[in-house]
Amino acid sequence: MKRNEVSVEEKLEALYRLQKIDSQIDKINFIKGELPLEVEEMNDEIIGLNTRLSNVEAEMVEVEQNISDRTRIKEETKTLIQKLEKQQNSVKNNREFESLSKELELAKLEIELCDKKIKDFTEKKNALSIRLADAIKAIEAKQKDLEIKTQELKVIEEETDIELAQLIKESEVAKTKVDERLLNGYTKIRSNYRNGLAVVTIDRDSCGGCFAKIPPQKQLEVKQRKKVIVCENCGRIYAYPQEKEIEDQNKVVEEAPKVTRSRSKRTSRAAE
């Protein structure tokens, strides 16, 4: 049978079945809650912390290299000073003496500069050591939290993954049995609501989605299943599936004896 030959009743029944399947999928995803997102965010945070740690370590290597370089220059300058002082003791004229004196002065300034740089770099190294320790602690703490969340998610997935995969498969099959225009509308409505309800039944004279009151005439039209009717308040699609019809019929059967007993009492009173 071609899709355009399918009755409205059959279209709505197929759409209702699809909604039931998708609602079960939504329920499983709700049980998982924000855990998948939390695990993903924690992984991203750990990547960021590791990047920060790598940057601090790179800075530490650079600072240590600077300290090493300045220490080497300082020792070389000390050797130079000793050499210049010896030369100064053996000069033959004032020009040479003054020239060596200037070199000695520059060399001593170089040592002072090295001492200052070494001090600055050492302070920076100490600060980097603190940052490095903090970064390591932060990664370890975040890693522990991630392990806990990952384990929680693993337990839930072990309990639900098989069922979820089956439901997703059933959902895809169910979609093939739904009118394309209705399916597009259904998908759009589902995306508008957090609970994913696009197809609802009437419960206690109200919309099963937004609980707005429904006039008796419209309720009757929904039960007739001759056309697609949507809630004027929330836009959800009304359905009156066979299981709902059977449920309503059972309610009538359950209430019938109460009415009979009430009538029999009135009859007996009238006879008296």
Residue 52's pLDDT is 93
> Quick one: pLDDT band at residue 256, thresholds 50, 70, 90?
low
Residue 270's pLDDT is 43
In whole angstroms, give the CA distance from residue 82 to residue 49. Answer: 49
The 3-state DSSP class for residue 233 equals: coil
Q: Is the pLDDT of residue 264 over 80?
A: no
> Quick one: pLDDT band at residue 257, thresholds 50, 70, 90?
low
Where along the chain do the CATH 1.10.287.1490 domains lie? 3-175, 180-271
Give the residue carrying structure tokens 């709700």.
Answer: 30
pLDDT one-digit tens code per residue, 36-93: 889 999 999 999 999 999 999 999 999 999 999 999 999 999 999 999 989 888 888 8
CATH number at 3-175: 1.10.287.1490
Report which residue type is found at 2.
K
In whole angstroms, give the CA distance from residue 40 to residue 63. Answer: 35
Residue 1's pLDDT is 39
Q: Pick the range with the lowest mean pLDDT from 26-35, 108-117, 140-149.
A: 26-35
**This prediction's pTM:** 0.55
Helices 8-32 and 180-192, packing angle to 10 deg: 30
Alpha-carbon radius of gyration of the chain = 42
Q: Is the pLDDT of residue 267 over 60?
A: no
In whole angstroms, give the CA distance from residue 14 to residue 133. Answer: 61
Q: Are 236 and 189 in contact (CB under 8 A)?
A: yes
Q: Is the pLDDT of residue 253 over 70?
A: no
Torsion of CA 133, 139, 141, 143, to 10 degrees: -150
Report which residue type is found at 42.
M
Pick 104 or 261 by higher pLDDT: 104
E-state strands within the chain: 199-200, 202-203, 206-207, 237-238
Residue 92's pLDDT is 82
Q: Pick the range with the lowest mean pLDDT from 2-16, 180-194, 232-246.
A: 2-16
Neighbours of 61 (CB within 10 A): 11
String of DSSP letters for 137-161: HHHHHHHHHHHHHHHHHHHHHHHHH
- The answer regarding whether domain 180-271 maps to CATH 1.10.287.1490 reads yes
Q: Are 211 and 234 in contact (CB under 8 A)?
A: no
Query: Which residue in 197, 225, 192 sits closest to 211, CA to CA?
Result: 197
State the chain's mean pLDDT as an integer.
Answer: 88
Mean pLDDT on 235-254: 85
Q: Is the pLDDT of residue 265 over 70?
A: no
CA–CA–CA angle 260, 265, 269 (5° rounding) = 150
Q: Would you state the structure tokens that stand for residue 28, as one six-digit string?
A: 């499983």
pLDDT one-digit tens code per residue, 216-237: 999 999 999 999 999 999 999 9
